[in-house]
Chains A and B, each alone.
Chain A
Amino acid sequence: MVPLSWYLGLSALLFTIGAVGVFIKRNAITIFLCIELMLNAVNLTLVSLSGFFGDVGGQLFVFIVMTVAAAEAAVGLAIIISIFRNRESLNVDEVDTLKL
Chain B
Amino acid sequence: MLVAIILAPLVGAAILGLFGKRMGERLIGLIACSTVAVSAILSFYVFFKHHAELEQGQKFYDYMFTWISVGSFRADASLVLDSLSAIYILFITFVAFWIHVFATGYMHGDKGYWRFFAYMNLFMFSMLTLVLADNFLMMFVGWEGVGLCSYLLIGYYFTKDFANDAAKKAFVVNRIGDFGFALGVMLLFSKAGTVSYFDDPARGIHGAFNWAMAQGADPLAWSAIFAGGITTIAVLLFVGATGKSAQLPLYVWLPDAMAGPTPVSALIHAATMVTAGVYMVSRASSIYMNAPTAMLIMAIIGAATALFAATIGLAQWDIKKVLAYSTISQLGYMFLACGVGAFGAGIFHVFTHAFFKALLFLGSGSVILGMHHEQDMKRMGGLKKYMPVTCATMLVGWLAISGVPLLSGFFSKDEILFSSFTTKVLPGSWPTVLWAIGAISALLTAVYMTRLMVLTFWGRERFGSSESAPAVHSAPGDHEHHSASPRESPASMVIPLVVLAIGAALAGYAGVPEGLSGGRIPNYFERLLEPSISHSGQTVGAAKVATEPIPPVAHEAVLQSGHATPAENHGLELKLTLISSIIAILGIGLGWVWFNRKPLWEPPSLLEHKYYVDEVYDAAIVQPIKQSSTSILWKIIDVHIIDGGVNGAGYLASLLGGILRRLQSGLARSYVAVLVFGALLLIGYFAIR
Do A and B originate from a single complex? Answer: yes
Contact B667 A96 (CB under 8 A): yes
**Residue A79 is within 8 A (CB to CB) of chain B in the complex:** no
Min CB distance B261 to A, Å, is: 65
Q: For residue A95, which residues in chain B have a CB less than 8 angstroms away from its CB?
A: 668
Question: A100–B676 Cα gap in the complex (Å)?
Answer: 25
Min CB distance B661 to A, Å, is: 7
- Type the 1/0 row for A1-40, where 1 means its CB is closer than 8 Å to any CB of B: 0000000000000000001001110100001000000000
Question: A66–B669 Cα gap in the complex (Å)?
Answer: 25
**Residue B24 is within 8 A (CB to CB) of chain A in the complex:** no
Contact A23 B673 (CB under 8 A): yes
Contact A23 B669 (CB under 8 A): yes
Question: A31–B669 Cα gap in the complex (Å)?
Answer: 10
**Residue B159 is within 8 A (CB to CB) of chain A in the complex:** no
Q: For residue A88, which residues in chain B have a CB less than 8 angstroms away from its CB?
A: none
Contact B672 A23 (CB under 8 A): yes
Chain B minimum-CB-distance residue to A93? B667
Contact A93 B676 (CB under 8 A): no
Contact B664 A99 (CB under 8 A): yes
**Residue A74 is within 8 A (CB to CB) of chain B in the complex:** no
**Residue A92 is within 8 A (CB to CB) of chain B in the complex:** yes
Contact B664 A19 (CB under 8 A): no
**Residue B665 is within 8 A (CB to CB) of chain A in the complex:** yes
Q: For residue A92, which residues in chain B have a CB less than 8 angstroms away from its CB?
A: 668-669
Contact A98 B676 (CB under 8 A): no
Q: For residue B676, which residues in chain A have a CB less than 8 angstroms away from its CB?
A: 19, 23
Contact B669 A93 (CB under 8 A): yes
**Residue B428 is within 8 A (CB to CB) of chain A in the complex:** no
- Type the 1/0 row for B87-124, where 1 means its CB is closer than 8 Å to any CB of A: 00000000000000000000000000000000000000
Candidates B664, B667, B672; contact of A22 at CB < 8 Å: B672
Question: A99–B666 Cα gap in the complex (Å)?
Answer: 6
Q: For residue B667, which residues in chain A have a CB less than 8 angstroms away from its CB?
A: 93, 96
- Type the 1/0 row for A76-100, where 1 means its CB is closer than 8 Å to any CB of B: 0000000000000000110110111
Min CB distance A97 to B, Å, is: 9
Question: A25–B109 Cα gap in the complex (Å)?
Answer: 88
Chain B minimum-CB-distance residue to A28? B668
Min CB distance B654 to A, Å, is: 12
Min CB distance A27 to B, Å, is: 12
Question: A59–B566 Cα gap in the complex (Å)?
Answer: 114
- Type the 1/0 row for B246-261, where 1 means its CB is closer than 8 Å to any CB of A: 0000000000000000
Q: For residue B664, which residues in chain A have a CB less than 8 angstroms away from its CB?
A: 98-100
Question: A23–B669 Cα gap in the complex (Å)?
Answer: 6
Chain A minimum-CB-distance residue to B661? A100
Contact A98 B666 (CB under 8 A): yes
Q: Is the interface of B mostly helix, strand, loop or mixed?
A: helix
Chain B minimum-CB-distance residue to A22? B672
Chain A minimum-CB-distance residue to B673? A23
Q: For residue A100, which residues in chain B have a CB less than 8 angstroms away from its CB?
A: 661, 664
CB contacts under 8 Å to A, within B643-674, are 661, 664-669, 672-673
Min CB distance A32 to B, Å, is: 12
Chain A minimum-CB-distance residue to B669? A23
Contact B669 A22 (CB under 8 A): yes
Chain A minimum-CB-distance residue to B668? A92
Best-buried of B661, B666, B676 by chain A (most CB within 10 Å):
B666
Question: A95–B145 Cα gap in the complex (Å)?
Answer: 68
Question: A18–B664 Cα gap in the complex (Å)?
Answer: 24
Candidates B661, B666, B672; contact of A96 at CB < 8 Å: B666
Q: For residue B668, which residues in chain A have a CB less than 8 angstroms away from its CB?
A: 31, 92-93, 95
Chain B minimum-CB-distance residue to A31? B668
Q: For residue A23, which residues in chain B have a CB less than 8 angstroms away from its CB?
A: 669, 672-673, 676
Q: For residue A98, which residues in chain B have a CB less than 8 angstroms away from its CB?
A: 664, 666
Chain B minimum-CB-distance residue to A97? B666
Q: For residue A26, which residues in chain B have a CB less than 8 angstroms away from its CB?
A: 669
Min CB distance B447 to A, Å, is: 85
- Type the 1/0 row for B297-323, where 1 means its CB is closer than 8 Å to any CB of A: 000000000000000000000000000
Min CB distance A80 to B, Å, is: 12
- Type the 1/0 row for B618-635, where 1 means its CB is closer than 8 Å to any CB of A: 000000000000000000
Chain A minimum-CB-distance residue to B679? A19
Q: For residue A24, which residues in chain B have a CB less than 8 angstroms away from its CB?
A: 669
Question: A18–B520 Cα gap in the complex (Å)?
Answer: 121
Question: A31–B672 Cα gap in the complex (Å)?
Answer: 11
Contact A99 B669 (CB under 8 A): no
Chain B minimum-CB-distance residue to A92? B668
Q: For residue A99, which residues in chain B have a CB less than 8 angstroms away from its CB?
A: 664-666
Question: A22–B672 Cα gap in the complex (Å)?
Answer: 8
Chain A minimum-CB-distance residue to B665? A99
Min CB distance B130 to A, Å, is: 65
Min CB distance A38 to B, Å, is: 11
- Type the 1/0 row for B671-684, where 1 means its CB is closer than 8 Å to any CB of A: 01100100000000
- Type the 1/0 row for B236-250, where 1 means its CB is closer than 8 Å to any CB of A: 000000000000000
Min CB distance B88 to A, Å, is: 74
Q: For residue B672, which residues in chain A have a CB less than 8 angstroms away from its CB?
A: 22-23
Q: For residue B665, which residues in chain A have a CB less than 8 angstroms away from its CB?
A: 99
Question: A95–B669 Cα gap in the complex (Å)?
Answer: 12
Question: A58–B665 Cα gap in the complex (Å)?
Answer: 38
Q: For residue A93, which residues in chain B have a CB less than 8 angstroms away from its CB?
A: 667-669
Question: A95–B671 Cα gap in the complex (Å)?
Answer: 13
Q: For residue A22, which residues in chain B have a CB less than 8 angstroms away from its CB?
A: 669, 672
CB contacts under 8 Å to B, within A25-61, are 26, 31
Question: A40–B455 Cα gap in the complex (Å)?
Answer: 111
Min CB distance B673 to A, Å, is: 7
Q: A93-B669, A100-B664 are in contact. List 14 more A-B contacts (CB 8 A).
A: A19-B676, A22-B672, A23-B672, A23-B676, A24-B669, A26-B669, A31-B668, A92-B668, A92-B669, A93-B668, A96-B666, A98-B664, A99-B664, A99-B665
Binding site for B on A (CB under 8 A): 19, 22-24, 26, 31, 92-93, 95-96, 98-100
CB<8 Å pairs between A and B, sample of 9 = A22-B672, A23-B673, A23-B676, A31-B668, A92-B669, A93-B667, A93-B668, A93-B669, A99-B666
State the 7 A-B residue pairs at the shortest beta-carbon distance, nearest first: A96-B666, A99-B666, A92-B668, A22-B672, A93-B667, A23-B669, A99-B664
